[in-house]
A and B are shown apart, each in its own frame.
Chain A
């Protein structure tokens, strides 16, 4: 099938399919049935590998407001909760030309310029049906969220051609869309591509949350601090260095000082942290460095970043991933010793012979940038993804605060039409309620329905999609940490706030104070 309709049918199927296996089958069937290069572009779109200039939402709004009354559009968007879907439903095509194919669409979007963007997009929309328009707009805005993550799409690819997914993962980051050589190899038409001479990303090994500490065989695990930074992989092959983020994005230019300080061929797994006074700075400080395409000298000076290393994947050009963890750690210590300690250091092994000792360490970490413990099986090989029994994270218990609900906003995606984004506050000394955070998860579906109903019946004011509510509902909010910030009027910001409980039993006047929370921020 060469038109976009096959791909849009896949997207619709993925968004409604019940289980993982059903989704895998949809992806696999589509990859087998669809010719090159369409299937490669589709796979890139599903895995987030499609690098298009990106049509701004403002352009799409402008297009639709030429055809639909702006207020009717806004009310529709507020209800549907998704721009691409709203526009795909509202658009009334004017011509009946043949629908464009996926590769055709990708190619046109790829060379879209600011001047011709609106005309080209309108022309494409006019040639598509509702689901085709949805697919087009999702591609154009670079926001597919297809109900299948990148990993699931690669699993679907492996399943389609009877390959081992690890094998696919290993090659994945070295081949670009539309992955012609990958499909040739998958179909047995060529040899496995050789990528050993390029500085590629290797999929990270991940940890499960430790659910039952008392069942842990403590002697078999080594312990480290769990650092609250950004997971990163430093790669140098044949003198060429790169830094990759957790999802394989190249972040070398965001952190040039770390990338250029990598002075030996190796692949290191570690945590990017910012230096603060004395030890490690806060995650807020690190955030100043995120998302910037270029870094000024002042930023480098003010927020110096380094990589705290905890694992070694390649030693020189030798793949050491199959060695047991403790052997890799010993080699890692040697590699890091040869590097400048300003940019690279070693995450230390912790001494703890018993669960009680581990619990004591977890309860009282020496640094605020520590969010718990990592427990790694001493004999574990470095394997991609999350594997049962090998690595565990044992986070500190969350902190909690009783806050008062102030505003609610309608959610997006599967929460569209529900009030699901909640801004809550704490009492200031003068009796005013000041916002301290915003949470949109933590509650069950039943609690969400209840909250939605509560918001609708206690609204005191409306600002577009936001409702102000009576200051009467107490929410127990759990969060990982709290720090000074200018984001909210209270001067505080929580990390990972979530609604732990709805406290209908507690009068709003008894909720926490800003002063009390500030003390927790330390």
Chain B
């Protein structure tokens, strides 16, 4: 039996709330006090009073929403007491600064994982399994059709296509926070040392990652580059720019899209991706189910995504599970 935590942790469509601390986790609207798992905009919003998050997440929020005067950095593993609840953050392996929130009171432990993945990512600390009574998980890719191949192999495939078409450029669409930096880091790890050219919307977060110590090599703005000079090179842009007028300046681009959704052909076609790259910052089916089996929580709470499938799988494995039906979570941008 999972412990009853209703006195100090409540669930509503607006999110997870700690009443004794008057604190929300990843609230969708500005609140007096917020605990933020990571910098993606469906988890981190501007305008909160006090903000508890990792220093990296606070830096990302400052970059996106302006200075965060209420920012209260918390290192991984460091604990604070909020209204009688012991709160600490632990790496989630999702993007730089991403954290799981561990909550403990009266011997009961709840871990709110935020978004996470288990596969290696050179741009952030790896997921740390934290023993708990209740594990709150995402379910973005919670269907057995979602099995992400090794990201290194996907990047190698993209570089091979570029090598075979040196007169073209490789335009990779990737989410501007996390995915884009990871793809650049993977390109570097694969030995691609040439400059990588960036869409304007990517410049600031790339620079921030570099300031925070992530090696990304030679990055340059694509703006103002003559098409000739981009032949044979990699250009990174947010997904929305792939089919936009912006990409017309490029020399016959090989349009690639890096996302876990690329596993499904129809989704790749919807994106207009000529070269779908299955690279995800979310746990795939095997990672989700392995994590649940590893932690063996007394109860699993599922926040957003394909919760039906994960809840059903849990029932097959005698694990108590429920879907929370939170609003405002967007998994489409992955």
> Which residues of A does B touch, CB under 8 Å?
12, 15-18, 22, 68-69, 71-72, 75-76, 79-82, 85-86, 89-90, 413-417
Residues of B within 8 A of A68 (CB): 144
B144, B147, B266, B308: which contacts A413 (Cβ < 8 A)?
B266
Contact assessment for A416 and B274 in the assembled complex, using a CB-CB cutoff below 8 Å: no
Q: What's the least CB distance linking A48 to chain B, in Å?
A: 20
B290 at the interface (CB under 8 A from A): no
Contact assessment for A71 and B312 in the assembled complex, using a CB-CB cutoff below 8 Å: yes
Mask of B236-279 contacts with A, CB within 8 angstroms, 1/0? 00000000000000000001000000011111111011111000
A16, A69, A75: which contacts B269 (Cβ < 8 A)?
A16
Closest to A77 in B: B145
Can you report 28 residue pairs joining A to B where beta carbons are below 8 Å apart?
A12-B265, A15-B265, A15-B268, A16-B275, A17-B274, A18-B255, A71-B312, A75-B143, A75-B306, A75-B308, A76-B143, A76-B309, A79-B145, A81-B266, A82-B265, A85-B264, A85-B265, A85-B266, A86-B145, A89-B144, A89-B145, A89-B147, A90-B144, A90-B145, A414-B266, A414-B270, A415-B266, A417-B266
B313 at the interface (CB under 8 A from A): yes
- Is the contact region of chain A dominated by helix, strand, or loop, or is it mixed? helix
Closest to A15 in B: B265
Q: State which size class the interface on B falls in.
A: 20 to 34
Query: If the complex has contacts A18-B255, A69-B316, A72-B143, are A79 and B306 also in contact, measured as CB distance less than 8 A?
Result: yes
Contact assessment for B143 and A18 in the assembled complex, using a CB-CB cutoff below 8 Å: no
Docked CA distance A80–B321 (Å) = 24
Contact assessment for A76 and B145 in the assembled complex, using a CB-CB cutoff below 8 Å: yes
Residues of B within 8 A of A413 (CB): 266
Q: What's the least CB distance linking A64 to chain B, in Å?
A: 10
Contact assessment for A417 and B276 in the assembled complex, using a CB-CB cutoff below 8 Å: no
Q: What's the least CB distance linking A515 to chain B, in Å?
A: 41
Contact assessment for A16 and B145 in the assembled complex, using a CB-CB cutoff below 8 Å: no
Query: If the complex has contacts A16-B268, A416-B267, are A72 and B275 also in contact, measured as CB distance less than 8 A?
Result: no
Residues of A within 8 A of B265 (CB): 12, 15-16, 82, 85
Contact assessment for A80 and B264 in the assembled complex, using a CB-CB cutoff below 8 Å: yes
Docked CA distance A176–B32 (Å) = 74
Contact assessment for B266 and A80 in the assembled complex, using a CB-CB cutoff below 8 Å: yes
Q: What's the least CB distance linking A271 to chain B, in Å?
A: 35
Q: What's the least CB distance linking A519 to chain B, in Å?
A: 41
Contact assessment for B269 and A414 in the assembled complex, using a CB-CB cutoff below 8 Å: yes
Residues of B within 8 A of A71 (CB): 309, 312
Residues of A within 8 A of B143 (CB): 72, 75-76, 79
Q: What's the least CB distance linking A20 to chain B, in Å?
A: 14
Q: What's the least CB distance linking A130 to chain B, in Å?
A: 9
Contact assessment for A72 and B309 in the assembled complex, using a CB-CB cutoff below 8 Å: yes
Mask of B264-300 contacts with A, CB within 8 angstroms, 1/0? 1111111011111000000000000000000000000
B273, B274, B313: which contacts A72 (Cβ < 8 A)?
B313
Interface residues of B in 90-148 (CB under 8 A from A): 143-145, 147
Docked CA distance A90–B267 (Å) = 17
Docked CA distance A416–B269 (Å) = 10
> Which residues of B does A touch, CB under 8 Å?
143-145, 147, 255, 263-270, 272-276, 306, 308-309, 312-313, 316
Q: What's the least CB distance linking B318 to chain A, in Å?
A: 14
Docked CA distance A12–B157 (Å) = 14
Docked CA distance A16–B268 (Å) = 7
Residues of B within 8 A of A82 (CB): 265-266
Residues of B within 8 A of A69 (CB): 312-313, 316
Closest to B253 in A: A18
Docked CA distance A16–B277 (Å) = 12
Residues of B within 8 A of A76 (CB): 143-145, 309
Residues of B within 8 A of A80 (CB): 145, 264, 266
Closest to B149 in A: A130
Contact assessment for B274 and A16 in the assembled complex, using a CB-CB cutoff below 8 Å: yes
Docked CA distance A17–B275 (Å) = 9
Closest to A131 in B: B265
Closest 8 CB pairs of A and B: A89-B145, A416-B266, A76-B145, A75-B309, A76-B143, A414-B269, A16-B274, A414-B266
Q: What's the least CB distance linking A106 to chain B, in Å?
A: 22
Q: What's the least CB distance linking B280 to chain A, in Å?
A: 15
Docked CA distance A413–B143 (Å) = 18
Docked CA distance A89–B147 (Å) = 8
Residues of B within 8 A of A72 (CB): 143-144, 309, 312-313
Closest to A11 in B: B265
Counting chain A CB atoms within 10 Å of each CB, which of B272, B306, B309 scores highest? Answer: B309
Docked CA distance A22–B316 (Å) = 47
Q: What's the least CB distance linking B317 to chain A, in Å?
A: 11
A16, A85, A415: which contacts B276 (Cβ < 8 A)?
A16
Counting chain A CB atoms within 10 Å of each CB, which of B144, B255, B265, B269 scores highest? Answer: B265
Residues of A within 8 A of B312 (CB): 69, 71-72, 75
Residues of B within 8 A of A81 (CB): 266
Closest to B308 in A: A75
Q: What's the least CB distance linking B275 to chain A, in Å?
A: 7
Q: What's the least CB distance linking B333 to chain A, in Å?
A: 14
Residues of A within 8 A of B273 (CB): 16
Q: What's the least CB distance linking B269 to chain A, in Å?
A: 5
Residues of B within 8 A of A415 (CB): 266
Docked CA distance A12–B269 (Å) = 11
Q: What's the least CB distance linking B253 to chain A, in Å?
A: 10
Residues of A within 8 A of B275 (CB): 16
Contact assessment for B269 and A15 in the assembled complex, using a CB-CB cutoff below 8 Å: yes
Docked CA distance A86–B147 (Å) = 12
Q: What's the least CB distance linking A154 to chain B, in Å?
A: 23
Counting chain B CB atoms within 10 Å of each CB, which of A15, A71, A75 scores highest? Answer: A75
Residues of A within 8 A of B309 (CB): 71-72, 75-76
Contact assessment for B274 and A18 in the assembled complex, using a CB-CB cutoff below 8 Å: yes
Residues of A within 8 A of B145 (CB): 76, 79-80, 86, 89-90
Docked CA distance A85–B309 (Å) = 18
Docked CA distance A80–B141 (Å) = 12
Residues of A within 8 A of B147 (CB): 89
Closest to B254 in A: A18
Residues of B within 8 A of A15 (CB): 265, 268-269
Residues of A within 8 A of B276 (CB): 16
Counting chain A CB atoms within 10 Å of each CB, which of B143, B267, B268, B308 scores highest? Answer: B143
Q: What's the least CB distance linking B331 to chain A, in Å?
A: 11
Closest to A445 in B: B270
Q: What's the least CB distance linking A261 to chain B, in Å?
A: 47
Residues of A within 8 A of B274 (CB): 16-18, 22
Residues of A within 8 A of B263 (CB): 89
Docked CA distance A90–B144 (Å) = 6
Docked CA distance A82–B147 (Å) = 17
Residues of A within 8 A of B255 (CB): 18
Residues of B within 8 A of A12 (CB): 265
Residues of B within 8 A of A85 (CB): 264-266
Query: If the complex has contacts A16-B274, A16-B275, are A416 and B264 also in contact, measured as CB distance less than 8 A?
Result: yes
Residues of A within 8 A of B268 (CB): 15-16
Closest to A85 in B: B265
Told that A71-B312, A72-B144, A81-B266 touch, could you supply 9 new A-B pairs with CB distance under 8 A?
A17-B274, A22-B274, A75-B309, A76-B143, A76-B145, A79-B264, A80-B266, A90-B144, A416-B264
Residues of B within 8 A of A89 (CB): 144-145, 147, 263-264
Q: What's the least CB distance linking A359 to chain B, in Å?
A: 40
Docked CA distance A71–B310 (Å) = 11
Docked CA distance A417–B332 (Å) = 11
Docked CA distance A80–B275 (Å) = 19
Docked CA distance A80–B312 (Å) = 18
Docked CA distance A89–B255 (Å) = 23
Q: What's the least CB distance linking A419 to chain B, in Å?
A: 14
Docked CA distance A212–B92 (Å) = 61
